[in-house]
Structure 1
Amino acid sequence: MKTICKIHIPGRMTLGLEFPLDNDWSLEGEKKRKKQGRPFGIPDISRHTELIQLADKLGFAALWMREVPVYDPNFGDGAQVFDTLSYLGYVAAITKSIAIGTAAVVLPLHDPLQLAKAIATIENLSESRYLFGVGLGDRPVEFPLFGFDFENRADRFVLNHEIIKEAWKDESELHHFFGKTSNGIEIYPKPKNEIPWILAGRAKQSMDWIAQNMQGWFNYPRDVKDTEILVREWKNALYDNNQASKPYISAFHLNLLKDPDAPFTPHRFGGAVGINGLASLMRLYELAGVNHMALHLRKSEIPVDEALKLIAEKVLPHFDAADFKNQSTYQEE
C-alpha cells in the first residue's frame, strides 16, 4: 500500500488528539458549561479553529472525530456538534500536515454510495490525509430514526464495506449489488490513494475478518495490562492471516494536572497526571504495543491550548514526532 498517513511506524507510537477540543469535564469546564446554559455533552467549540490549527502546527500526528448523529439526553453526548463529514472538509482546509480520522463513522447508518462519494471527496481535498475509521453503532435509538434495523446492523456493516470498496475502483461493477440498471454507473471522485479503513471496536466481526479487511484496529481506552492483551490478539490475527504490520490504535482520557510533578492516578478510560509524568506513562503504552494514541482532553485541569503546548514541548519529542513532519501518515510493510 502506498504510504498515505502518518500514524504508523512499526514498533513505535505516535500521539494524536480526539475531538472535541474542550475541557468541559473538568471542574472549571463544568462551571463554564452551566453558566453558558449548554446541555451536558454539548462541548464548547468557540475556539475550535484556533485549537485545530495549533494541534497541526505543534506536530501532533492525527485528529480523531466521532460521529454522533443525534443528541440523546439519556446519553448526554453531542460529540463535536458539527456534522462529521462536513466538518472534516473544513478541518482539511484549515490544516496542512496533520492526519484527520474518524473514530468512528457509524457505517450501517449511511447510504453506502453517498458515503463513498463523501469520503473520497475528503480524501482528495485533504491530500490523502484521511483515515476512514468506521464502527457498528451501539445506540438503538438512532437506527429506527434512519429507517434501519438495529439488530441487523452487523450484516449491513459488511455489505456497506463491500459496496464502498467496489465504488472506489476505477472500473466498478456496482451491478453486483444493485442489478443490471447500475451497469456502467460510477461514483466520482475516486480516491487519489488507497484509503485506510480503521475499525473501532469489533463490529460483531471475527478477528480474522478484521485482520483481512481493515488497515488498523482502534480499541477503546484500557489500562496498560489489558491493552497488552489486545495488542497480542491483534498481532496474532495478522500473523494467522498473512497480513503485514498494521497499527493498533487506542485513546486515553487525560486529566493533565496543574502540578507538573503530580503522580499518575487512574480513572475510567484514562487517568490524571502532571506533565512531567506523562511521557513515562505513554511510554508504557508504547511498550505494550500501541502504535498510535489519541489523547482526549475533556477532563484536563489545564486549559486545552496550554495543555497542547505542554504536551508538544515535554512529550512529543520522546516519540520523535518531529521526525514525521515530512513523512506520509500511514505506513504498512
Structure 2
Amino acid sequence: MKEHKGFTSMFQKRKLTLGLNIPIEAHGKEVPILDRQVERAQLAEEAGFSCLWFQDVVLEDPTFEDPATGQIFDSLIYLTYLGAHTKSINLGTAAVVTPLRHPLRLAKEAASIERLFPERLILGISSGDRRKDFEGLNVPIMERGRLFRESFDFFKRAISEEYPALESPMGKLDKSNLVPKPSSPIPLLMTGYCQQTFDWIAENGDGWMFYPQAPEKQKEMVASYREKAAEFHGDEFHPFIMPLPVQLEENEDAPLSKIPAGYRGGRKAIVDILKEYREIGVNHIMFNLAKSERPVEEVIHEFKEYIIPAIEEENFS
C-alpha cells in the first residue's frame, strides 16, 4: 500500500489522523433523517478530516443495541454519492459485511469506485453481527466465518488476477475476467476478528479496525497486532484504527468523562485523550457524532480550528 495515496496520507507510523462516521448527524438512537449530509461532508473535508466512514446495514432492528440502521442508504451507493460531491477526502467502509454480498459483485463495485475516485477507497470488511440482516437474506449467521473466508479468497483473486481459473462454493470463473480492474490495489482493513484467528487477520489484512477501549487496554491490542503483523510482513507498516463516540462540550475546559464506548469533555480534554491514543500507536480514529448535544457544524468547526491542528502539531513534533 506504499503507493496508495489515500492510504499513505491517512496512515503513517507514530501519527494519528481523524475521520467522521456518516451520517454526520446528532440522531441518538433515532433513525437519522440525513439532513444536509453533502454540505457536512464538504465541511469535514475542508476541516481536515481524512476520511468519511460508511456503515453496511440492511434492516432496521429495534432489538439491536444500535437500531439506527447505519446511514439508511446502501453503504456503497451512498459512498459513491458523497464521493462525487467531495474532492479528495478518503471514502471508507466500516465495514462491508462480506458474507451478505456476493464477492464477484463486491469486486465489481469496489473496482468501479476505485476507478471513479482513484486512491480514495478504503475497504473495511467484516463478518457481520446483525442477525436480522442474515435472516432477511437467508444467510446462516453461524456459518459467517466460513463464508467470510470463501468470499475473501474469491474477491481477492477476481479483483486482482486476469482471467483467473477460479472455482469455489462462491462461483466459477472460466475464461472470463472481471472488468474494470482497479487502477490501484484497494486497501483491505479487517474489522474485529471476522470470526477468524488472530494469525489470519494479521496475515491477510492491510490494517486492523478494532473496537474502542480505554488507552491502557487498547495499548495491549495495538502491541499484539503489531507483533503478529510483523511475523507475516516484516517491517511493512500495518495501521491500527478505532471508532470513538464523542460529545464535545462548549466549555473548552470541561473535564473528560466516560460515555458508552467513548468520551465527553471540552476540547482540551479531547485533545489530551487523543494524544494518549496516538502515543500507544493508534493511527486513525473515526468519530461518531450521533450523540452530540451541540449542532454538528459547531463541532466540525471546533475540530477544524483547534483539535485537528493540535493533533497535527503533535504528529510532527
Normalised-by-shorter TM-score class: over 0.9
Correspondence 1:18 to 2:21: yes
Correspondence 1:126 to 2:117: yes
CA distance in 2 between counterparts of 1:182 and 1:266 reads: 51
CA distance in 2 between counterparts of 1:251 and 1:17 reads: 9
Note the C-alpha offset of 1:77.
2.3
Unaligned runs of 5+ in 2: none
TM-score (norm 2): 0.93
What is the 5 A alignment of 1:1-333? Answer: 1=1, 2-5=3-6, 6-25=9-28, 40-75=29-64, 76-177=67-168, 182-243=173-234, 244-320=236-312
Equivalent position amino acid for 1:70 in 2: L
CA distance in 1 between counterparts of 2:172 and 2:83 reads: 35
CA distance in 2 between counterparts of 1:169 and 1:228 reads: 34
Q: State how many pairs are aligned.
A: 309
Note the C-alpha offset of 1:236.
1.2
Structure 2 SS opposite 1:176: strand
CA distance in 1 between counterparts of 2:15 and 2:89 reads: 18
Taking a change above 3 Å as real, the CA distance of residues 216 and 180 of structure 1, as seen in their structure-2 partners, is closer
Unaligned runs of 5+ in 1: 26-39, 325-333
Note the C-alpha offset of 1:179.
10
Equivalent position amino acid for 2:111 in 1: A
Q: Which has the higher contact order (CA 8 A, sep 6+)?
A: 1
Taking a change above 3 Å as real, the CA distance of residues 223 and 46 of structure 1, as seen in their structure-2 partners, is same
- After TM superposition, where is structure 1 displaced by more than 4 Å over at least 4 residues in a row? 178-181
CA distance in 2 between counterparts of 1:205 and 1:170 reads: 25
TM-score (norm 1): 0.88
CA distance in 2 between counterparts of 1:179 and 1:264 reads: 48
Cα pair 2:199 2:228 within 8 Å, conserved:
yes
Equivalent position amino acid for 2:124 in 1: G
Note the C-alpha offset of 1:240.
2.0
CA distance in 2 between counterparts of 1:113 and 1:104 reads: 17
Taking a change above 3 Å as real, the CA distance of residues 10 and 265 of structure 1, as seen in their structure-2 partners, is same
Note the C-alpha offset of 1:170.
4.2
Note the C-alpha offset of 1:178.
7.0
